[in-house]
Amino acid sequence: GENVEQHPSTLSVQEGDSAVIKCTYSDSASNYFPWYKQELGKGPQLIIDIRSNVGEKKDQRIAVTLNKTAKHFSLHITETQPEDSAVYFCAASISSGGYQKVTFGIGTKLQVIP
């Protein structure tokens, strides 16, 4: 099955700096790559996603890039703010048995220091 590796596991940045989280996936058939943000005591929430026919997508301060050849994708957060502090999960989705099966990375705990 699909295997998603994510790093780093923890990341501390100064407010205003950029943060980058990287993921790799194993199954070249994966075609959808969502990123989720999980705040303390809450469930994960989708913040941005990218499909395999797109190389880059941007939404205000966050952007994702996808390199299908190398099977890796990244999340970039610019001008970080304290409210960006959370755990971020990457995921890869593959069509399996008639539905999209999502495999999550282990998560990155991001701390933005004011």
Map 19-38 to HEC letters: EEEEEEECCCCCCEEEEEEE
Q: Does 53 bind another protein (CB under 8 A)?
A: no
CA 5 to chain centre: 11
CB of 14 to another protein, least distance (A): 27
3-class state of residue 83 by DSSP: helix
Stretch that binds another protein, among 10-18, 30-38, 60-68, 77-85 (CB under 8 A): 30-38
CB of 38 to another protein, least distance (A): 8
Which of 14, 42, 53, 114 binds another protein (CB under 8 A)? It is: 42
Do the beta carbons of residue 11 and residue 84 sit within 8 Å? no
Identity of the residue, 35 or 112, whose beta carbon is nearer to another protein in the bound complex: 35
